Amino acid sequence: MKHNGSDIAAPTLAIAYHSGFGHTATLAHAVAAGASEAGADVAVIAVDQMDDTDWDTLDAADGILFGSATYMGNVSAAFQSFAEQTGRRCVDGTWRDKVAAGFTNSGGKSGDKLNTLVSLSVFAAQHHMHWVSLGLGPGWNSSAGSEHDLNRLGFFLGAGAATDVDANSEEVHPSDVRTCRHLGWRVAHVTRQLNVGRSAIPAASNPGASSAPAH
Ligand SMILES: Cc1cc2nc3c(=O)[nH]c(=O)nc-3n(C[C@H](O)[C@H](O)[C@H](O)COP(=O)(O)O)c2cc1C
């Protein structure tokens, strides 16, 4: 039988982010709006203010989108503190096979924030999660382009935004907001596809992937 996805419950997504000054928080809510638009049930969680219910929400979600401000060319200390609190979950495989994606914001147009997205993707891989790329071509890369293009900063691994360090949280660039909205939409869509596939093909472990050395 061909599934169209409508017979599968809405994917559940959580957005786990850190924002010191509100810019990445604005992006987190844009990601959430895009995911909701694609039919997901979404929770937005600030990782520096988590309670037990928030941890339960992350554990139960089909997918988690990680977001961090770029500080010193990497995820913020608060985000890394959150990451380090997941060590037991990492060992236990609590988040194994969940969908993952990432977004970041920096003051500089580059600001070395690719490194932040790399850190987020490595974090997801350590949890054996399925990383979803941004899925957009680079904007603002020809004479016909402009800063108003979607994906204006030309990222592939996730969504990258740049906000003036003296801007308030409502002054995040509209293109970056739309780019994050797209990321949320895409992850919700991919998660729904995966959920439909999983309903047809149950999970299995690879018998050839034992950690014992082969003889
Ligand atoms: C400790 C610290 C380190 C920063 N490091 C960088 C950096 O490496 N690259 C950059 O472009 N901006 C850097 N910034 C600027 C922030 O990325 C920028 O202000 C961003 O909008 C903050 O996001 P937030 O409002 O979500 O915290 C840094 C800011 C702080 C406070």
Ligand 1: atom nearest CA of 74 is 8
What does pTM read for this prediction? 0.95
Q: What pLDDT digit, counting tens, does each position of 100-119 carry?
A: 999 999 999 999 999 999 99
pLDDT averaged over 10-residue windows placed end to end, the chain, 215 residues = 53 98 98 98 98 98 99 99 98 98 98 99 98 98 98 98 98 98 98 94 85 61
CB of 115 within 6 A of ligand 1: the answer is no
- Sign, CA dihedral 198-12-101-140, equals positive
Domains of the chain: 12-209 (3.40.50.360)
Distances 143 to 101, 138, 139, 151, 162 between C-alpha atoms, Å: 30, 13, 11, 16, 21
The two tokens of residue 29 are 């809510």
Q: Ligand 1 centroid to 185 CA: how many Å?
A: 26
What is the SS3 assignment for 144?
coil
Q: Ligand 1 centroid to 145 CA: how many Å?
A: 26
CB of 108 within 6 A of ligand 1: the answer is yes
CB of 23 within 6 A of ligand 1: the answer is yes
CB of 165 within 6 A of ligand 1: the answer is yes
Q: What CA–CA distance (Å, rounded) separates 14 from 129?
A: 14
pLDDT the model gives residue 182: 99
If you take atom 9 of ligand 1, which residue's CA is the nearest one? 111
Ligand 1: atom nearest CA of 164 is 21
CB of 195 within 6 A of ligand 1: the answer is no
Q: What pLDDT digit, counting tens, does each position of 7-20 carry?
A: 466 899 999 999 99
CB of 19 within 6 A of ligand 1: the answer is yes
pLDDT the model gives residue 203: 81
Instruction: Look at the block and give the residue holding tokens 């992350």.
Output: 58
pLDDT the model gives residue 158: 99
The two tokens of residue 141 are 């890369």
